[in-house]
């Protein structure tokens, strides 16, 4: 499963990129607003750090406006992936852009039927929002299971990008189901490293090592 970071914070992206675990980045208008940075400038900076897809979202609601914004965004770098909302205009835009060789991430997906439409429109990625689904009394991971089943039934190439990930349990379940990608805030990706027994093990190994009085090398 590929790991994308859901952030527009350069320092966090740089740190995660150094681990070799980062396969891409997703941003959205709220994350850009939170960063306080210029959209085009920060997107260019992210594309310079990460080789994989970097999602940049259009804000126009009509097809022509989305195409105009996508034209500006895709000029930033070859790895820009245009993010469009799951609306009729969004999917018209998705079809036009993918036919033109541009990667498209269809966002704000909350049903398996919507995911089916996105795949038929040729989306590179579909982004079902599991956390927001959970917040509203549904089971976000059931949505991922349904989409996996439907995409496998018809051999759709669209990748399932689990979005709105809130905790490590979402990551584990995404991997169990066989999602292609998950995008999570850096704090969730970092939490994947943690285990109390790892910490305890390091502590006891260090204490025993110190009791030997030895050093390794110089
Ligand atoms: C995905 O591409 C979105 O940017 C993101 O995952 C939304 O997450 P949120 O529901 O935590 O805002």
Give residues with Cβ within 8 angstroms of 132, minimum separation 6.
110, 140, 164
Of the candidates 34, 44, 75, 83, the residue annotated as catalytic is: 83
Give residues with Cβ within 8 angstroms of 153, minimum separation 6.
none
Rounded-to-integer distance, Cα 46 and Cα 144, Å: 28
DSSP label of 213: T
CA of 200 to the centre of ligand 1 (A): 34
CA of 56 to the centre of ligand 1 (A): 12
Express each pLDDT in 32-89 by its tens digit.
999 999 999 999 999 999 999 999 999 999 999 999 999 999 999 999 999 999 999 9
Please state the ipTM of this predicted complex. Answer: 0.97
Domains for the chain: give ranges and CATH numbers: 2-212 (3.20.20.70)
Active site residue 83: yes
Q: Is 29 in the pocket of ligand 1 (CB under 6 A)?
A: no
Give residues with Cβ within 8 angstroms of 34, minimum separation 6.
8
Q: Is 86 in the pocket of ligand 1 (CB under 6 A)?
A: no
CA of 154 to the centre of ligand 1 (A): 27
Q: How many residues make up the chain in this entry?
A: 218
Express each pLDDT in 94-135 by its tens digit.
999 999 999 999 999 999 999 999 999 999 999 999 999 999
């Amino acid at each position: 499963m590929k790991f994308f970071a859901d952030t527009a914070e350069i320092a966090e992206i740089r740190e995660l990129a150094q681990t070799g675990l980062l396969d891409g980045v997703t941003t959205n208008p709220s994350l850009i607003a939170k960063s306080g940075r210029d959209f085009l400038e920060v997107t260019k900076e992210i594309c310079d750090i990460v080789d994989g897809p970097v999602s940049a979202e259009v804000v126009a609601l009509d097809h022509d406006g989305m195409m105009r914004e996508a034209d500006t965004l895709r000029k930033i770098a070859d790895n820009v992936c245009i993010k469009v909302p799951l609306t009729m205009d969004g999917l018209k835009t998705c079809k036009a852009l993918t036919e033109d060789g541009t990667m498209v991430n269809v966002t704000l997906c909350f049903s398996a039927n919507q995911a089916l439409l996105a795949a038929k429109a040729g989306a590179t990625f579909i982004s079902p929002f599991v956390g927001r689904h959970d917040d509203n009394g549904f089971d976000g991971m059931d949505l991922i299971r349904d989409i996996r089943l439907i995409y496998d039934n018809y051999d759709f190439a669209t990748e399932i990008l689990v979005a709105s990930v809130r905790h490590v349990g979402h990551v584990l379940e995404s991997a169990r189901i066989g999602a292609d990608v998950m995008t999570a805030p850096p704090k969730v990706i970092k939490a994947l490293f943690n285990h109390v027994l790892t910490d305890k093990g390091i502590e006891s190994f260090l204490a025993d090592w110190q009791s030997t009085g030895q050093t390794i090398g110089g």
